[in-house]
Structure 1
Amino acid sequence: MPQQQSPAGRPGGPEQVVPWRPPVDDPFLRAAQRQARPAGLGRRLGARAVDGVLTAAVAAAVAFPFAGPSADHFREQVEAAEQAGETRQIWLVDGTTGVYLAIVLGALLVFGLLYEVLPTARWGRTLGKKLFGVRVLDIEEQDTPSFGAALRRWLVYGLLAPLGVGVVNVLWCLFDRPWRQCWHDKAARTFVARGTEESGPLG
């Protein structure tokens, strides 16, 4: 009588079970590996310090030619009041110095658009963020933010920075979860990530 074989092909042997192995190309695994992680406070402060120094340098360079004329104008106002023997209120910002201030603010606005907004919308980073290996990403798309989001992010930061709450805004990412957002990130629905893929001149 012929000997009965098991389905595995071995006579009388137990049926072998092939262990499950994950597919070589797992899309869910690749998506998890690409998931961006929020950057730490040290990297973010370092990047912001570089950007802040560059912005301050541009502001100083633009304002320097107006420093002397502004001082002379203020001195003339004081001397005119003394000669007239009047007690009058002299404003630091008037029709003359206001023009100088408007020129400086306009230059900073143009610089911010060229240095902060456009590179953030195009590559997700400025020079400071490039040096410290961080990148601004949209929360939902996990990609560079739109121009409108980048503009909104920069404007909110710029408005809060001169105020006392600007410090709270920067430190807010220490307590925020899970994306460690500052207030300007929440306004733009972005977060600052580390270890992301690089592309472009600032990538």
Structure 2
Amino acid sequence: MSSYNPSSPEPEGGGKPSFDKQPPQSGPPSDTPPPPPPTGSPYDSNAYGAAPYNGSYGGSPYGDNPYGGSPTGQPGGGPEAIAGMPPLGTWPSRILARLIDYVIIQVIAFVLVLPFTGFGSRNGWTGGVWLYYGLYLIYEGVMLSRDGQTLGKKAMNVRVAMLADGSSPTGSAAWTRAAVYTLPAVLCCGLWWVADGVFGVFDKPYRQCIHDKSAKTVVVSTR
């Protein structure tokens, strides 16, 4: 027989309410899925700008084509002249220009060495080669500083231009370009020129050799 008194204010079972008999709580049902997490990267907005790399450095220096479009936009990978800017110089023109300059400076070097030593010995040829390196460095630095053209480039209708705006190379750019092209060849003979040229063949989109990369220059046509 139960001793529970229905007139008592305390509930049955020891005077403590049962959790199983509590009234339902207000709010969404327990099976409602949680709200989705916020989208986007935590780096989308920060104290340094809209993105962590959109500061004062801007984008890649090679991201915007100073010639108004892709320099290899024509079928077959040929250069494309847009908005009045010159197209990139072709590889045959660039190679022939180098050969012309090489022959000119090499002949001058040997003519200067000839009065002091004969070419019947190894010393005569070695002296001519060393003089060639020195003369070529000076020759290219001076000529490019003037208008971006050596004699070979004038003959083949190409010139060196600043990548940023197509203008003639600055003095520092001209001498940097000449030094990076010439001085490493002193240590590894002509192998440096081969590696330098092959680098430019695979470079996209401006066909820059290593000496162009170092000076931020590009070779364009003057036609």
1:38 positional shift: 1.5
Q: Is the 8 A contact 2:137 2:182 kept in 1?
A: no
Structure 1 partner of 2:180: 156
Asked if 1:183 is matched to 2:207, the reply is no
CA distance, structure 1, for counterparts of residue 219 and residue 129 of structure 2: 29
Structure 2 partner of 1:120: 144
Asked if 1:60 is matched to 2:110, the reply is yes
Q: Residues 118 and 173 from structure 1, CA distance in 2 versus in 1: closer, same or farther, beyond 3 angstroms? A: same
User: What is the CA deviation profile of residues 30-89 of structure 1, one whole-angstrom value per residue up to 9, with x for unaligned ones?
Assistant: x94222322111000010010000011011112212324995xxxxxxxxxxxxxxxxxx
Counting matched residue pairs gives 140
Equivalence map 1:1-203=2 (5 Å): 32-68=82-118, 101=127, 105=130, 109=134, 112-113=137-138, 115-161=139-185, 162-195=189-222
Q: Residues 163 and 50 from structure 1, CA distance in 2 versus in 1: closer, same or farther, beyond 3 angstroms? A: closer
Q: Is the 8 A contact 2:106 2:132 kept in 1?
A: no
Report the TM-score when normalising by structure 1: 0.59
Moved more, 130-139 or 118-127: 118-127
Report the TM-score when normalising by structure 2: 0.54
1:104 positional shift: 7.7
Percent of residue pairs identical? 31
Please report the RMSD computed on the Cα atoms of aligned residues, expressed in angstroms. 3.0
CA distance, structure 2, for counterparts of residue 189 and residue 157 of structure 1: 13
The 3-state SS of whatever aligns with 1:38 is: coil
CA distance, structure 2, for counterparts of residue 48 and residue 140 of structure 1: 24
The structure having more radius of gyration, on CA atoms, is 2
Q: Is the 8 A contact 1:160 1:169 kept in 2?
A: no
Higher relative contact order (CA 8 A, sep 6+): 1
Structure 1 partner of 2:5: none
Structure in which a larger fraction of residues adopt helix: 1
Q: Is the 8 A contact 2:148 2:168 kept in 1?
A: yes
Q: Residues 69 and 152 from structure 1, CA distance in 2 versus in 1: closer, same or farther, beyond 3 angstroms? A: same
CA distance, structure 2, for counterparts of residue 70 and residue 59 of structure 1: 16
Which 5+ residue runs of structure 2 have no aligned equivalent? 1-67, 69-80
